[in-house]
Amino acid sequence: MFNIIKNGAQAMHKAGVEKPRFTFRTVYESRRGMVRLDMQNNGPDMPADVRKRVFEPFFTTKSVGEGTGLGLSVSYFIIRENHGGEMEVESGRGDGVRFIIRLPVEE
């Protein structure tokens, strides 16, 4: 979660968003047996070409020396491989960026 919040805060600052905001929402998806966590910011939309690559190791939109391109790829790996979960990103509707994390719930 830290990497998502940090990247969103940096993007909103760079874009000059007057009132930056994060919204968090959790839902239990009983049919899938998963808890869903939505994290959305009100910053600029993420372009489609960036969304396609955002979880790739070493992919970054930042200048040299500002980012390693590892934060989101490591988060993605941990959620999928260590927890059997899912992680995706939505954007392009003019309402910021939403990261969705789903984690299985054992009963």
For position 91, which CATH number holds?
A: 3.30.565.10
Please tell me the number of Cα atoms within 13 Å of 30 on its side-chain side: 0
At 63 the pLDDT is 67
21: domain range?
2-104
**Count of domains for the chain:** 1
At 65 the pLDDT is 67
Whether the per-residue pLDDT at 107 is higher than 70: the answer is no
Which H, E and C letters describe 54-67, residue by residue? Answer: CCCCCCCCCCCCCC
36-71 per-position pLDDT tens digit:
999 999 999 999 999 999 999 988 877 666 777 788
Contact 76, 7 (CB under 8 A): no
